[in-house]
Structure 1
């Protein structure tokens, strides 16, 4: 169980949540919702113990599994399989057993060999008590269901894409939650921030079923409405305007109806209170003209002021960022091309001999299974990595704008203002402040460190940098991840109207529809083809 009392969360001087009590119990499957920037990620981090609240206490009476939006730093030399097994301590035991096996085979001294045999026996007994080989098989099943192929599990984390590493972390959390076997009861509480990012359609379907069957607690942040509808039995709505959290002990579909009813009630109550306060103010004005009624008039006026002061501020529609890519800078017929690009990580070959030409204004989608090298190709084209062979060829007037799915283009130790100054060094201060305002950054939030921003806010800041660049070639890696539906539509509208060239990596069919691509590049082979609707089916699978 997790309990929080008197909880107050802040981002800089901005109050996200104030004087709030929360409880997560076994059987609770809670959807944490609210607009981008409302404080959902901050709330989850506080519950997980990853961040300290500004005020209040949080107690945790059970083990947790926490999946953050951004991949955690750590030892990237371990294999994906060992990282998953480490959730139950099986990785170290398996390595020690392997050493003992080698010792038993190589030692010539009988005494030393017998000692190695005894050591192996103890390790094997401990391994079996933790689930042993059945647990390894179980971990593999979870990984495969999350789209991690057997060959990937033997690779070091440093050779995997950001999306693959995040799926490894999700697999590790789910493996820990099934200690005792798949379907076993678990009191472990899962705190998952956008768990469907980087998953294909089949993996998302499997994850929904897993979470629905989980008997421990769950708090999930997700823009996947189908997941919320199928899984959650409670909803926490974080109201950014009031800095309060409304609890709905009901399913997602019933919550939507109840939320709409609550908003109508609030508007009705406010209108009634304003009407009564206005009547009191008018009566006070009339009585105030008479000396004998002055005290009564002051009491009426004070009562009217109290009624208005106690009202919630009038709700305005949640704002969305105004995203419009500017006219691209002039360039030649082919601003970017590549010849014979090849890339490997250690002995793992990602792709080889990729040729492509990005013509002025062309729209291209990159498709391939997870791990096929889509992100790597964009990083090579953007100059963030060097190819092992081949080269990129900048054309006349090339200006590249690169959006990284893990927000690597942001300096997480710098604040919002410092980041935009770095991303757009040639733009005037007032123009930048206006630009940030259209992306919903203003006031004290300009001084907020980027590392404390939500995933959606980081996306908006990175996109603001793109907008200021006047790029004529955009390299976009999952630009709609972490965005609420309204912000996602803004990005899609910007894609529809952009006149420059775009190379897009996405699992979002809506993003592909908005781009209306002419060509597709298929990895790892690097084959190029004209776009057709047949390829659309591959988008969610890629």
Structure 2
């Protein structure tokens, strides 16, 4: 169980959540919702014990399983299967059993063999206490349903794609059997079948759950409570309702607030009129000032409420002039150790062409984009820039953002030809205003990092965009803006996505299938591969 008492959440001088009390108990399946940047990820980190609250107290009892947006893995040399089994300590027990089995076989004397047998028996008792071989089978079932085959489980973490690593971490947390699960966008990088399975798994999970997700299908199937974090009011509205009933009640609440705002604006207007009349009389000056202050306070509150409806205005740049074929790649291959990711990939990107890259997780889609962007080097083949090539790269893990630098500094580095005022104006259109621009990028939520990365693309004047899952971590309104930006961009685009809406917006000319490197004209026949990939 997690109990929060008078919990206050802040980033720097900005308060995200005024003192609030709530709990996550067994059987609670809570959907934590709110606009990007409202503080959902920050709040979840605090509940998990990985962040510091500005005030109040968090009490945790039992095991807490936490899946952050940016899944972190400590030992990159660890096998994926061992990483998952480590959630219950099974990995070390199984290793000791293997060691003692070998010691029994290699024993030179009866005493050595007897000592090895005693050690084996103790380790086997530990294994039984941790669930035995049935627990190992349970882990295997979770992995299979999350699309982690044996060939992936026997690889080192370092050799896995970002999507595979995240699914390993999700499998580890689900296998832990934690008393409370804190899941931040758990469906990222999952295919359709895995998402359907996850919905069923979480809907019957015996412990408590708090989940952040823009997948409304998951929220509808799983949650029995909704916590709405309101960015402008810095308050959390607690709804003891399932998803559908919450949507109805929320709409009713928003209509009531709009009426209240309209009434406040009318009252403020009347106060300002009266203050203007009284201000003309010296004897009434103090009363006039007080009325004006009350009116300004009312208007400031209503302005804040209106700002809640704002969405970043995202439009990709008009492309810089370039040759007929701005980007070419030939005979690209990439291996990680003995693992062959892809081989013999050829690609010629014509000016203004749209290409979607499809393939199962681990097929090398992200790796290919990183090679085209010049971040990774192919084992064979080469990437040849054409005349006037100007690349813009959106990385799904936001590697193009320097977490140690501020939002403003990141933008300045992406747009050296713009002055400070121009940069701040563009950041404002992406909802970074005031002190927000001075925040270090590492404290941004996933949605805020997405907005910053997109803002950096907007100032790039790129004529070829490499987009890797650009709609991840976005609320519905921001996602619509990104889809419209993709739809209207006049340059060439190479897109990797699990989002059918993004492919529809792109209207691709061609499809590249990995790992085989087969290229074909786009047709609706490939649409089913988008969510399966």
The residue that corresponds to 1:372 in the other structure is 363
1:215-364 to 2 correspondences below 5 Å: 215-272=206-263, 313-314=301-302, 315-316=305-306, 318-364=309-355
Root-mean-square deviation (CA, aligned residues, Å) is 2.5
Q: Is the 8 A contact 2:278 2:287 kept in 1?
A: no
Q: Partners of 1:432 and 1:424 in 2: how far apart? A: 8
Question: Does 1:20 find its partner at 2:20?
Answer: yes
- What corresponds to 2:7 in structure 1? 7
Equivalent residue for 1:203, pick from 174, 185, 194: 194
**Structure-2 change in CA distance of 1:394 and 1:132 (3 Å):** same
- The superposition leaves residues 361-420 of structure 1 with CA deviations (integer Å, 9 ceiling, x where unpaired) of 111111111111111111111111111111111111111111110111111111111111
CA contact (8 A) 1:16 1:240 kept: yes
Aligned to 1:440: 431
Secondary structure class of the residue paired with 2:527: helix
Q: Secondary structure at the match of 1:313?
A: helix
**CA separation in 2, counterparts of 1:283 and 1:380?**
67
Distance 1:109 1:492 in 2: 72
Residue in structure 2 matched with residue 44 of structure 1 by the alignment: 44
- Superposed CA deviations along residues 401-445 of structure 1, whole A, max 9, x for unmatched, are 111101111111111111112222333222211111111112101
CA 1:493–1:108 in 2, change beyond 3 Å: closer, same or farther?
same
2:176 is aligned with 1:176: yes
Distance change >3 Å, CA 60–CA 431, structure 1 → 2:
same
Shift of 1:257: 1.3
Q: 1:107 to 1:431 in 2, by over 3 A?
A: same
1:104-143 pair list within 5 angstroms: 104-143=104-143
Please name the residue that 1:65 is paired with: 65
Query: C-alpha separation between the residues in 2 aligned to 1:367 and 1:286?
Result: 68
Aligned to 2:185: 194
| 1:322 match: secondary structure | coil
Unaligned runs of 5+ in 2: none
- Provide the residue aligned with 2:406 in structure 1: 415
What's the offset of the Cα at 1:110? Answer: 3.0
User: CA 1:307 to 1:385, structure 2 compared with 1: closer, same or farther past 3 Å?
Assistant: closer
How far is the alpha carbon of 1:357 from its aligned partner? 1.1
The answer for the alignment partner of 1:389 in structure 2 is 380
1:452 and 2:443 matched: yes
Shift of the alpha carbon at 1:340? 1.1
The structure 1 residue matched to 2:453, chosen from 458, 462, 487, is: 462
Is the 2:268–2:298 Cα contact (8 Å) retained in structure 1?
A: no
Q: 1:399 aligns with which of 373, 390, 393?
A: 390
Q: Relative to structure 1, is the Cα distance of residues 328 and 304 closer, same or farther in structure 2, using a 3 angstrom cutoff? A: closer
Deviation at 1:311, TM superposition (A): 9.0
Residue pair 1:278, 1:304 contacting (<8 A) in 2 also: no
Match of 1:35 in 2: 35
Summarize the alignment of residues 83-122 of structure 1 with structure 2, pairs less than 5 Å apart.
Answer: 83-122=83-122
Is this contact kept in 2: 1:281–1:301, CA < 8 A?
no
State the distance in 1 between where 2:165 and 2:516 align.
Answer: 23
Structure 2: distance between partners of 1:40 and 1:8: 13
1:525 aligns with 2:516: yes
Q: 3-state SS of the aligned residue for 1:254?
A: helix
**Deviation, structure 1 residue 281:** 8.5
Q: 1:244 Cα deviation (Å)? A: 0.6
2:407, 2:441 within 8 Å by CA — same for their partners in 1?
yes
Kindly indicate whether the alpha-carbon contact (under 8 Å) linking 2:268 and 2:299 is maintained by their aligned counterparts in 1. no
SS class of match (2:512): strand
How far the C-alpha of 1:148 sits from its partner, in A, is 1.0
Counterpart position of 1:182: none
CA distance in 2, matches of 1:69, 1:212: 21
C-alpha contact 2:271 2:295 (8 A) present in aligned 1 = no
Q: How far apart are residue 310 of structure 1 and its match?
A: 7.5
Distance of aligned partners of 1:300 and 1:273 in 2 relative to their CA distance in 1, 3 Å threshold: farther
Q: TM-score, normalised by structure 1?
A: 0.92
CA deviations over 1:436-458 (Å, ceiling 9, x no partner): 11111121011111111010100
**Are the aligned partners of 2:272 and 2:295 in contact in 1 as well (CA < 8 Å)?**
no
Q: How far has the Cα of 1:267 moved from its partner? A: 3.0
Q: Where in structure 1 do 4 or more consecutive aligned residues deviate above 6 Å? A: 276-291, 297-308
Query: How many residues in Structure 1 have an aligned counterpart in Structure 2?
Result: 530
Alpha-carbon separation, structure 1, partners of 2:280 and 2:110: 112
Deviates more, 1:151-160 or 1:103-112: 103-112
8 Å Cα contact 1:235-1:252 kept in structure 2: yes
SS in 1 for 2:238: strand
Q: Which piece of structure 1 moves more, 425-434 or 83-92?
A: 425-434
1:465-508 Cα shifts (integer Å, max 9, x gaps): 11111111111110000011111111111111111111110000
- Aligned partner (choices 492, 504, 517) of residue 495 of structure 2: 504
SS in 2 for 1:517: coil
Q: What is the CA deviation profile of residues 137-194 of structure 1, one whole-angstrom value per residue up to 9, with x for unaligned ones?
A: 11011011011112101111100011110111110110012xxxxxxxx7x1111100
Aligned residue for 1:319, secondary structure, equals: coil
| Deviation for aligned residue 1:279 | 7.2
Unaligned ranges ≥5, structure 1: 178-185
Conserved 8 A contact 1:325-1:467: yes
- Rounded to whole Å, the distance in 2 between the matches of 1:311 and 1:397 is 50
Q: 1:420 to 1:278 in 2, by over 3 A?
A: closer
TM-score when scaled to structure 2? 0.94
Give the direction of change, closer, same or farther, for the CA distance of 1:196–1:302 in structure 2 (3 Å limit).
same
Rounded Cα–Cα distance in structure 2 between residues aligned with 1:345 and 1:289: 79
